[in-house]
Copies of this chain bind each other. A is one copy, B any other.
Amino acid sequence: MARRRPSSKREATSPPPRLREVAIESGVDISTASRILNNDPAQSARPETRERVLEVARRLQYKPNAAALALRTTKTNALSILIPSLANVAYAEITEGARLRAEKEGYVLFVVSGTSEERLTTLSGRIDGVLLAASATDVGLSPEVGTSIPTLLLNRRVEGPLNSIIINDAAGIDMLVAHLAELGHRHIGHIAGPSNTDTGPRRVDAFKNGLRQRGLPVRTQWISAGEYSEEGGYEATMRVLDAAKRPTALVASTVTTAIGALAALRDKNVAVPDEMSVATYDDVPLASFVTPPLTAVQMPLREMGARAVEMLLELIAGREVSNEVLDGTPKLMKRSSTAPPAQ
């Protein structure tokens, strides 16, 4: 149903209607119009006055001026989420969950990439609160962070007063290890994220625990960290493959690193899953389309986004929140990148 705009020249940007216009046009005072439009519960207006104002506002397409509103009420009805890079698909999911929740509450969600925390200061006055998504932990949060604006750390914990929400990475990683162990693997390696992230070491710990709990050997040579990128995964995997003895299975900390791992295995002529199984944390559509399709755990990313917004809104309302570890159960998607080890 291709609707076409008329190709006639659109009239020059005309100034949007002000509340004052609406008031005059309806023959009431501006304050009355304001009350009616805002459904002020404390006051009542005569139905007919009410109708008239509402009608005029609709006809004029009145929209309150955001700047004036913000100045007057010190509320912007906007939130923002700071993420290190838009290229990270996991954040796309988280953000989508957050956006939906925010909109339901009448907020716009602005995503800002590049996460240098200086950006935070430029945000002040434009938004009511900010979700600070994980970035390098060795950068440090300046003490001002969270001072000027309600802030919630996302996917990252830091000692101090800042509240946070993280996902239960351990559950996901453990599910992966369990799956591989069940298949009969006893020699499992881990392609980890960088040690200067919050998630990287957390997943490493979970991985080690998973092994120990099942009486499997923990070999540091089989745990190799790299950037959260294909390249990072590739290099980390290469290092594992150079070990004197190779594991028979790998747990990747991210789909991106898993794809790097697959490339490394291909270059080293190691067949997946015949000679090496690969399972990955996080599931995105891409995971099921690479060759071989990747066994993955699907984490409740959207839920995390949604929950983060809820918590942030609490913070904005001045209420206390406690740090949360989101505990939706991960879902294991078994695909052909994992199989029993070769004899």
Contacts and interface: CB of A to CB of B under 8 A. Distances in A.
Given A1-B138, A71-B65, A108-B122, A229 B160 contact: no
A260 B141 CA distance: 41
Contacts of A161: 7, 9-10
Interface string A123-156: 1111000000000011011111011111000000
A111 B110 contact: yes
Contacts of A260: 289
Given A112-B111, A113-B111, A291-B291, A92 B96 contact: no
Contacts of A74: 67
Interface string A71-103: 100101010100001110101110110010000
Interface string A31-43: 0000000000000
Contacts of A104: none
Number of copies: 2
The bracket for how many chain A residues form the interface is 35 or more
A325 interface: no
Interface in A258-291: 259-260, 262-263, 266, 284-286, 288-291
A114 B140 contact: no
Contact of A147 (B13, B66, B92, B140): B13
A14 interface: yes
A126 B66 contact: yes
Given A68-B71, A70-B70, A121-B63, A108 B87 contact: no
Contact of A86 (B96, B149, B231): B96
A290 B259 CA distance: 7
A245 interface: no
Nearest to A70: B67
Among A114, A121, A122, A259, the one with the most B-chain Cβ atoms within 10 Å of its Cβ is A122
Contacts of A286: 230, 256, 259, 286
Interface in A205-235: 229-231, 234
B4 A140 contact: yes
Contacts of A46: none
Given A5-B143, A16-B148, 9 more contacts: A2-B137, A5-B141, A63-B125, A71-B71, A76-B126, A108-B119, A110-B111, A263-B290, A291-B291
